[in-house]
Every structure is written in structure tokens, then in C-alpha cells.
Chains A and B, each alone.
Chain A
Amino acid sequence: DGGITQSPKYLFRKEGQNVTLSCEQNLNHDAMYWYRQDPGQGLRLIYYSQIVNDFQKGDIAEGYSVSREKKESFPLTVTSAQKNPTAFYLCASRDRANYGYTFGSGTRLTVV
């Protein structure tokens, strides 16, 4: 079955550490996205990529970094510069012909 796989499902990080969240899709979608979801704030766009080796900042990119070396993969690194990283992170993808997103099941990151 085609879909998006995010791993891990739960992640704990100590303050001052970088951590990388994985996102893989086998839908052959061109575009991939990272969103952050906090209670009462909805989905906020961190980064997105429409093509391999290219990506753009979203609304809350500070403290995050991404790469898009393969069409299938779009990992997100949460750096120590992100002041409030505890959140639910969602990866999504879509193709040019379809305006609906396909979402992964999310990664819940907790800073301890």
C-alpha cells in the first residue's frame, strides 16, 4: 500500500541536542511538507519541497533544517536553536494534480 511513513512515533530529546525525524513516501509525489501541530494553533508550515534538491522555508522555519536528496525522503532536523521544540510533527505529500495532502501518522517530540 502506498503512503507516508514517519519514524519514530515518539521521540525524547535532551535540551541542547539535535534530533532528526524521518519521513519516507512511496506515492511518487513531487512535493513534501513538514508541519508542526500544537494545541489550539492548528497546523503550521515549517518547510516544504517541490522538487529534489530544493526546498523553501515555511512560516516557522527558525531552528529547523531539512534536506531533499531523494524524491521519497524529506527528513527534518530539529536543532538546539529551536526554543520550544516539544510538539507533534506531521509530514505530508501531494502531487501536482491533486490538491489534497496525504499525511503521515506523526512524530511526537518531547524535550526532557
Chain B
Amino acid sequence: QKEVEQDPGPLSVPEGAIVSLNCTYSNSAFQYFMWYRQYSRKGPELLMYTYSSGNKEDGRFTAQVDKSSKYISLFIRDSQPSDSATYLCHGAISNFGNEKLTFGTGTRLTIIP
């Protein structure tokens, strides 16, 4: 069983819309949550990093963690065509090196001009 579940999409939204990307996880030991953006044929790049519950905002991006429901979200405001990519969520626990099965499968997002 995968510890992080993510709807693979694809998800298409018009330019300027608010995008909501979501993941659920099963491992209660997760404390750190990350979102990566991956353009086609490129490696993923770290987009947002959140510790424990709550919100974190960075420009047009907001990461949200609800540990009570084991739900993590990424919101993109004023979406742009350059946001078209695959978004991967990732959970991690505190002990260094325990990375098995913690990535979601990725949601493919297309922003339509």
C-alpha cells in the first residue's frame, strides 16, 4: 500500500483560475510535507515545504496540511500557462533516510490560455 495517494488527473483549468491539488497520506509519523513541480522530461524541483499542520504561502502558491484528516493541498492562484506541469506531493518522517514509498504518483496539470 502506498503511503501517499494522489489523483493522477489530468486536470485542465483556464488561465487565471484557482487550482487545488490534493493528496492523502496514511503514515501518522509524517511531519514534513513537500510539493514538487516537474516539467516534461525534467527532474522535479522543490516548490513548497511545510512542517506539521497549517498553511504556508509563497507568492501565488499556498501549501496546506491537515494532520487530523491526513490531507495535504497545494493551491495556485491566478494560474498561468507556465504552471502546466506534473505536481508531486511528498511526506517525510523525522529520521534521516526513511524515504520509502513517500511520493505521490503526481497530478498532471494543464493551464489553458
Contact = CB atoms under 8 A, between A and B. Distances in A.
B88 interface: yes
A104 to B, nearest CB: 5
Nearest to B35: A100
Interface string A70-107: 00000000000000000010101000100111111110
Interface stretch (B44-52, B63-71, B72-80): B44-52
A99 B105 contact: no
Interface in B19-75: 32, 34, 36, 41-46, 49
Interface residues of A, number: 27
B49 A103 contact: no
A108 B41 CA distance: 8
Nearest to B51: A99
B105 A106 contact: no
B92 A99 contact: yes
Nearest to A10: B41
Interface residues of B, number: 24
Contacts of A58: 100
Interface in B85-109: 88, 90, 92, 96-97, 99-101, 103-106
Given A31-B96, A42-B105, A42-B106, A100 B44 contact: no
B34 A43 contact: no
A31 B90 CA distance: 17
Contact of A45 (B36, B45, B99): B99
B43 A103 contact: yes
B38 to A, nearest CB: 8
B16 interface: no
A103 B8 contact: no
A105 B101 CA distance: 21
B49 A100 contact: yes
Given A40-B105, A42-B106, A48 B41 contact: no
Which 3 A-B residue pairings sit nearest by Cβ, starting from the closest? A103-B43, A42-B105, A99-B32
